Amino acid sequence: MIKNFFREDLKDFKPYDAEKNEYRIRMDANESYLHFPDELKEKLLEAVKDFALNRYPDPTASDVCRAYADYAKVDFNSLMAGNGSDELIQITSNAFINDGDKVMILSPDFSMYNIYIKLAGGIPIVFDLDEDFKLNAEELIDNVNREEVKLLFISNPNNPTGGVISRETIIKIIEGCNCIVVIDEAYYEFYGKTVIDLIDKYENLIVLRTCSKAMGLAALRVGFLASNKILLNELRKAKPPYNLNAVTQTIAEVVLRETEIINSNIKAILEEREFLLQGLKEIENIKIYPTNSNFVTIKVNDAEKVNKKFLEEGIKVRSFKAGRLKNCLRITVGSRAENEEFLKVLRRV
């Protein structure tokens, strides 16, 4: 039987069910709602016009890493580019996890950690955030050291809650945990605080960034990992040689140099977040979790019912059906018109 060749440990695994683009209003995937100005689009077309399609891309993606280094104010030798930070989560998992190794993750947190840990043969150990999705760091550190985990993944700001862990506490975690600590700063731009400046201070720190959220480049698939030389050396062993395609490298490099556009887009998204929050606060019977991201997570009485109404209106939000996030909806900040329409529908239900 062909099934005899399959992995027993993946028997109950479900393929990740990403949404296709078939809704009128997308407020489910934490993408940017903004488009680039026509001048920049022209510039991007120009950049890929005379492309050497027959040649493999730069395996180290050095030009785009230089552009990101300038943007993030780190040494470009501290960076590895990935086909989305998703791939960097996978590379990190593959580089450090042996069969049966334990890895600590928080709940709730980004769902892909769990998947890549298991694919690498590791065992995810879950540490629960409290009722209000706050972290008891002392307890986490105790658990990490008692369980002897190899790796710890934390998204900060947290997806899907939008909450943050202070720099002081992150430092306590890095110093207190006897393992490699990955701080995933996918939403850094909406929060403004980072620990990327500490990658050379701590031997066990990895920081992840992405261009999919604030930068508005989700379609390109590009993310960055920042760490010290010793960890990067190990990580390179698990990196596919040409992981970042040449079109992505070229376009991302141009966009990353457009800091004015990037910053004004971030500002616009933050203003819309305020508008959305203000509107939500005027609606009764919902709990709003504090956010430092480009999304707002709320709790309603019956998320399934509310979500059904949204779908009827062609609006896609992220609805959580079970577990700790039951009855929660995660709403990505949209344009003013989209936010208004979202609020209108929510008011009605």
Ligand X SMILES: *Cc1c(COP(=O)(O)O)cnc(C)c1O
List residues binding ligand X (CB under 6 A): 30, 84-86, 110, 155, 159, 184, 186, 210, 212, 218, 223
Return phi, psi of residue 79, to 5°: -110, 150
> Is the Cβ–Cβ distance between 223 and 82 less than 8 Å?
yes
Min dist. Cβ of residue 328 to ligand X (A):
15
- Smallest gap, in angstroms, from Cβ of residue 61 to ligand X? 14
Task: Give whichever of 155 and 339 is closer to ligand X, judged by the CB atom.
Answer: 155
The helix (run of H) or strand (run of E) holding residue 344 is helix 336-348
Nearer to ligand X among residue 2 and residue 18 (C-beta): 18
Based on CB atoms, which residue is closest to ligand X, 210 or 327? 210
Q: How far is the CB of 210 from ligand X (least distance, A)?
A: 3
Number of H helices and E strands in the chain, helices first, is 12, 12
Query: Which residue of this chain has its Cβ atom nearest to ligand X in the complex?
Result: 84
What are the Cα distances from residue 47, in Å, to 43, 50, 211, 213? 6, 7, 19, 23
Question: Cα 293–29–115 angle (5° rounding)?
Answer: 100
* Residues present in the chain in total: 349
At its nearest, how many Å lie between ligand X and the CB of residue 84?
Answer: 3
Whose Cβ is closer to ligand X: residue 110's or residue 190's? Answer: 110
- The amino acid at residue 172 is K
Provide the β-strand partners of residue 128: 107
Give 204 or 294: the residue with its C-beta nearer to ligand X.
294
Q: Which of 218, 221, 227 is nearest to 249 (CA)?
A: 221
Instruction: Read off the tokens for 205.
Output: 């720190």
Q: 205 or 343: whose CB is closer to ligand X? A: 205
Least distance from C-beta 298 to ligand X, angstroms? 18
Shortest gap between Cβ of 93 and ligand X (angstroms)? 13
